Amino acid sequence: MAYCTKCGGEIPEGTSSCRSCDKGTIDAQGSFPDSAAVPKITGDDYVTFIGNNSGKYLARFNKFGMEGSECFRFTWHWPAFFVTSLWMMYRKLYGWAILAFISQLIPLVQLVAPIFWPIMAHYLYYRHAKKNLIQIKQVPSSEETRRTGIAARGGVSPVALSIGILAVLTLFGVLSAVAIPMHSDFLKRAKVQSVVRSMVSVKMALVEAKTAKGRYIDCANAGDVQSRLGVTLDNPYIAKISIKSGAITATVHTTGGQFTSDADGKTLILSPDETGSSWTWGGTVPARYWSEMANRALKDALVESPPR
């Protein structure tokens, strides 16, 4: 078995070129070059070429027959699963990075690509390292110069690292611009809707009291609501509440912090019509906080406690 002097790949007898790099390797007499012509690559060479995390990669390289007969072995690489092209750029596999990116855009192929690249990642990097090491060691030079050349051609790409950091910062910025306001709006809605539910409870008790006494009971504050209607209001988002001629008025409590909203200090009013058969919402609290659920809350309360 002969080896290619360009990339170090095995060349079966009977062939005239390396299948890996497609470079001619037969001399004028038609004989294959001796495998001894291929520079010997040591574990230290790979360590110098890999740089960061060399121990982990070297363990995978040994599976491929780093110092013997080369063969593919199944491995899995998580960075190549999550950020395939970015990892390849980081490890200076620029051609493979472009191919990996394109494969994720092709229908059907994009279904296989997320599994294929993590399986092949270590082997592709091993072949890349071996090819470059052979090329560097074939050039006559001092050991110090050779080590410097190996470290320069290998290692990691600062450009890819910068792109990765920029991508993370961009993602964080998008989340900050979209997710945080959505979460804040959800909290504000929950605050006002809690007030709505408490007011519906007061309304149901008020209707029952009217049925018993023939009139709506007025209440000046939460204490009156508890003593006259039997409803205890322990809602932290109600600053004050009163009832006048059947109309229930609640002021939204200003709690501050992340719950602060344009509803704080404003009022919600739930009032009956002249017959008492229909109730409507109003007040100064923006409707977007309660309009979707206020009338539904009234209907649900009627189902749970139908009027007598």
Tokens, residue 272? 């009956």
By DSSP bridging, strand 2-3 and strand 247-252 are unpaired
Crossing angle of helices 43-50 and 109-137, in 10° steps, is 120
pLDDT of residue 23: 52
Return the number of other C-beta atoms located less than 10 Å from residue 40's C-beta. 10
Largest distance between two CA atoms of the chain: 119
Do the beta carbons of residue 78 and residue 118 sit within 8 Å?
A: yes
pLDDT of residue 32: 40
pLDDT of residue 119: 96
Return the number of other C-beta atoms located less than 10 Å from residue 246's C-beta. 20
pLDDT tens-place values along the chain, 308 residues long: 555 655 555 666 666 666 666 555 443 334 444 444 678 899 999 999 999 899 999 999 999 986 567 889 999 999 999 999 999 999 999 999 999 999 999 999 999 999 999 999 999 999 999 999 999 999 888 999 999 999 999 999 988 778 878 877 787 787 777 777 777 778 888 888 889 889 999 999 999 999 888 899 999 999 999 999 999 888 888 989 999 999 999 998 865 554 456 778 889 999 998 888 888 888 898 888 887 777 777 776 654 444 43
pLDDT of residue 68: 62
The C-alpha atoms of residue 140 and residue 257 are separated, in whole angstroms, by 70
Domain ranges across the chain: 39-156, 188-304
CATH (residue range 188-304): 3.30.700.10
Tokens, residue 156? 């990691």
Do the beta carbons of residue 80 and residue 73 sit within 8 Å?
A: no
Tokens, residue 103? 């494969």
The C-alpha atoms of residue 165 and residue 171 are separated, in whole angstroms, by 10
pLDDT of residue 97: 93
